[in-house]
């Protein structure tokens, strides 16, 4: 079930509208509807607004006039901040006790948003809010082909719920990106409330203003969130004049479309996408979109001068003076001692020296405070422990960078240096020591448990040295959220080879099988490293990087967790990527090494089928690649899901072996899945079958032996006259691409 939200009917705005409708409105235009002010450039009626997209309809409902922006009731309009507050519709997904199925409700509008509209969904003030005890909702824009985000709300029973808490238990809130002008909401039919309908029959999802929302446990019962709020909640739209990209362009080309008409106004760039808004200059107040809209503010009306002083209003400001016999010093009118010339000159010199001393003193104090804050961050993140261990273990290839070093390496984290963005942070390309390329990752957040153990975890991660794992070179601890430094990997990701911009390279199936085997070896190493296994937590094709020789390197494990050692650490926020998430993890919130095995099984499906893990079209079972594959295996119809060029390259014996391995990895019960080491061993066996088609392998092909931990058998090699030593890799031209997500 999917719903697309349109920002009002008639919000589609072409650039030509600014020129055609931009005349200054007459005095006859209505400037209020009900209790809501409608300031220009908005207007009610013909020729009363800057453009048709700024028209407001004043309609009578329940005996009272109310303003509407398309289908959305307007609550307020702010000229200063460029925002419009409207009432948005809640979408619900409820269990029908009569029919025994999940049914959707809510008001549905068409999909008609355009980039040329002046309105954008506010990324700063809105949150995608999901309510329920078994709710899984997806938000996306551009008809599902653009941004995608996930909202999850779960609980065991009503005792888990807490008033005012919206952190995932019964309620979750997710941020959205900038430049969104519409959105769609999808509820998963795989998650329903049929077993808990007595206390939670419905799930709800809505994009709403975060500041106006306070979660109540009464929403998870028969009252419901929709009934409590009359089916609508406040949402904030960012609006701007969008016929010019920025103030710099608009002010250089002032034509009839330039909206800041008041001579005492300033242009301010939009905080959400291209465009600008107008504000009155400092010391002025009013409407900057009208020729004489900004009027001087009489600051003296609030008596800003010190006691005994006299205020003099000026254009755009004010001045303070003292009565005869006194003079203004700072914020006080003191007796005038200037009659004594020598004393006056001496005092003047002293004041100058004092100002200089105070200025430099404040600078020194601020520097000391800043240094102390950095030292405290360093201590919190375990920097002292890290330094002690580095001294005791000489030769440890790990560097603790200063913030200044990483700022210089990334040109102050310039946007042009961004390699990639993800839920765990942003990765920048950097150069250290003026020659070595690195990837610098600014983490999004670190929780309290990670702060306490960060230094210890860095020691463990820094000592990971495996050819199929991206090397962690160092970190910066003197900032609020630590920064990680990795080796730079050149040739993009496995995702790009299968689905993306490098797909045209036509990589052979044997090469893809080699990359999968190398990735499995890297994950197996993480799971078995030292005494504390490392769980990746976000295994996907976009986190498998390829070096200059197209060898696989598992990345983004710095955002993973060490295997928890107590029950409290098993409870964590749901993380990962849709399509790769372990269904057992979704139910238990317990991340294990078998969660990584499930995600790796999805990667094997991508190699076999060439399909994305999750689609937004089709029926519920057709959207999930895992569901489509398992259904085909159950019907003994593997050939229907294999990509055509794979069937042409390899034998069905090899493809069935790989499919059986993927099926075992995707077992709904984690205990039944193989370990990553067993997966790597099986891929190694299958590679031999792929690399040497003239070799007969007497091996056990039953997939059940993999689950029981038995050996997959030995090899009996029979040569048939073909030359040995052929390369498994096709020649590939290296090309640069972005780093890990």
Three-state secondary-structure class, residue 3: strand
Task: Give the whole-angstrom CA distance, residue 711 versus residue 146.
Answer: 46
Contact criterion met (CB below 8 Å) for 5 and 87: no
Task: Give the whole-angstrom CA distance, residue 293 versus residue 233.
Answer: 33
Q: Give 664-707 as a DSSP string.
A: HHT-SSGGGSPPHHHHHHHHHHHHHHHH-TTS-------THHHH
Q: Which of 123, 218, 213, 133 is nearest to 174 (CA)?
A: 123
Q: Which of 448, 684, 699, 461 is nearest to 562 (CA)?
A: 461
The active-site residue, picked from 71, 123, 538, 582, is: 538
Task: Give the whole-angstrom CA distance, residue 252 versus residue 241.
Answer: 15
Catalytic annotation present for 538: yes
Task: Give the whole-angstrom CA distance, residue 741 versus residue 736.
Answer: 15
Task: Give the whole-angstrom CA distance, residue 413 versus residue 481.
Answer: 15
Task: Give the whole-angstrom CA distance, residue 205 versus residue 128.
Answer: 7
What tokens were used for 732?
A: 């590939």
Q: Which of 86, 14, 58 is nearest to 238 (CA)?
A: 86
Residue 607's φ and ψ, nearest 5 degrees, are: -65, -40
Task: Give the whole-angstrom CA distance, residue 164 versus residue 593.
Answer: 34
Exposed, middle or buried: residue 716 (CB in 10 Å: 0-12, 13-18, 19+)? exposed
Contact criterion met (CB below 8 Å) for 739 and 439: yes
Contact criterion met (CB below 8 Å) for 740 and 543: yes
Tell me how crowded residue 290 is: count the other CB atoms within 10 A of its CB. 17
Three-state secondary-structure class, residue 466: coil
Residue where the block lists tokens 């075992």: 664
Bridge partner residues of 207 (DSSP): 128
Q: Which of 711, 652, 574 is nearest to 191 (CA)?
A: 574
Contact criterion met (CB below 8 Å) for 236 and 254: no
Bridge partner residues of 227 (DSSP): none
Bridge partner residues of 441 (DSSP): 427, 484
What tokens were used for 167?
A: 């952190």
Task: Give the whole-angstrom CA distance, residue 304 versus residue 428.
Answer: 48
From the centroid of its chain, how far is CA 720?
55
Return the active site residues: 538
């Amino acid at each position: 079930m999917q719903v697309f939200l349109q920002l009002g009917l008639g919000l589609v705005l072409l650039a030509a509208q600014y020129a055609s409708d931009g005349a200054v409105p007459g005095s006859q235009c209505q400037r209020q509807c009900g209790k809501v002010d409608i300031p220009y450039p908005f207007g009610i009626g013909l020729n009363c607004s800057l453009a048709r997209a700024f028209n407001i309809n004043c309609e009578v409902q329940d005996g009272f006039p109310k303003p509407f922006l398309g289908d959305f009731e307007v609550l307020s309009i702010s000229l200063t901040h460029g925002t419009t507050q409207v009432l948005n519709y809640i979408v619900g997904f409820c269990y029908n006790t009569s029919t025994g199925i999940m049914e959707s409700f809510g008001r549905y509008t068409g999909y008609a948003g355009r980039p040329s509209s002046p309105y954008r969904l506010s990324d700063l003030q809105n949150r995608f809010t999901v309510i329920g005890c078994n709710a899984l909702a997806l938000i996306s824009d551009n008809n599902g082909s653009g941004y995608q985000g996930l909202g999850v709300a779960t609980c065991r029973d009503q005792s888990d719920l807490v008033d005012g808490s919206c952190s995932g238990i019964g309620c979750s809130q997710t941020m959205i990106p900038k430049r969104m002008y519409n959105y769609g909401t999808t509820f998963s039919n795989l998650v329903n409330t049929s077993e808990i309908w007595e206390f939670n029959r419905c799930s709800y999802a809505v994009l709403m203003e975060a500041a106006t929302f306070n979660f109540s446990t009464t929403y998870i019962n028969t009252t419901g969130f929709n009934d409590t709020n009359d089916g609508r909640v406040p949402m904030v739209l960012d609006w701007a004049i969008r016929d010019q990209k920025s103030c710099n362009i608009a002010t250089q080309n002032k034509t009839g479309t330039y909206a800041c008409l008041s001579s005492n106004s300033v242009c301010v760039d939009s905080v959400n996408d291209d465009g600008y808004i107008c504000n009155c200059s400092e010391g002025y107040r009013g409407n900057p979109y009208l020729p004489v809209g900004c009027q001087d503010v009489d600051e003296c009306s609030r008596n800003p001068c010190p006691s005994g002083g006299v205020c003099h209003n000026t254009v755009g400001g004010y001045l303070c003076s003292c009565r005869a016999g006194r003079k203004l010093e700072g914020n006080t009118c003191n007796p005038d001692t200037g009659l004594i010339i020598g004393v006056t000159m001496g005092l003047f010199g002293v004041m100058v020296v004092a100002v200089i001393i105070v200025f430099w003193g404040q600078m020194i104090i601020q520097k000391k405070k800043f240094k102390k804050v950095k030292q405290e961050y360093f201590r919190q993140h375990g920097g002292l422990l890290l330094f002690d261990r580095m001294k005791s273990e000489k030769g440890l290839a790990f560097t603790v960078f200063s913030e200044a070093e990483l700022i210089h390496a990334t040109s102050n984290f310039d946007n042009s240096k961004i390699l990639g963005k993800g839920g765990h942070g942003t990765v920048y390309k950097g150069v250290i020591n003026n020659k070595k390329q690195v990837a610098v990752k600014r983490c999004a957040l670190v929780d309290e448990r990670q702060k306490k153990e960060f230094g210890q975890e860095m020691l463990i991660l820094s000592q990971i040295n495996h050819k199929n794992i991206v090397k962690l070179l160092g970190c910066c601890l003197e900032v609020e959220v630590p920064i990680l430094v990795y080796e730079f990997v050149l040739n993009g990701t496995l995702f790009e080879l299968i689905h993306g911009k490098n797909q045209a390279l036509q990589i052979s199936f044997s090469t893809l099988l080699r990359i999968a085997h190398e990735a499995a070896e890297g994950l197996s190493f993480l799971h078995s490293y030292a005494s504390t296994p490392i769980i990746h937590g976000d295994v996907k094709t976009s986190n498998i990087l390829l070096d200059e020789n197209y060898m696989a390197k598992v990345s983004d494990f710095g955002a993973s967790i060490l295997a928890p050692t107590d029950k409290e650490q098993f409870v964590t926020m749901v993380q990962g990527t849709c399509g790769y998430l372990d269904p057992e993890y979704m139910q238990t919130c317990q991340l294990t090494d078998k969660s990584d095995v499930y995600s790796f099984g999805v990667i094997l499906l991508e190699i076999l089928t060439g399909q994305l893990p999750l689609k937004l079209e089709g029926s519920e079972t057709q959207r999930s690649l895992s569901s489509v594959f398992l259904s085909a295996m159950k019907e003994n119809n593997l050939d229907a899901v294999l990509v055509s060029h794979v069937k042409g390259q390899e034998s069905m014996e090899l493809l069935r072996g790989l499919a059986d391995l993927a099926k075992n990895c995707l077992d709904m019960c984690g205990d039944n899945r193989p370990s990553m080491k067993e997966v790597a061993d099986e891929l190694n066996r299958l590679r031999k079958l792929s690399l040497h088609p003239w070799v007969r392998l007497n091996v056990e092909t039953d997939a059940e032996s993999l689950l029981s931990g038995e050996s997959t058998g030995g090899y009996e090699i029979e040569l048939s006259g073909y030359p040995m030593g052929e390369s498994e890799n096709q020649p590939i031209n290296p090309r640069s691409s972005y780093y890990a997500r």
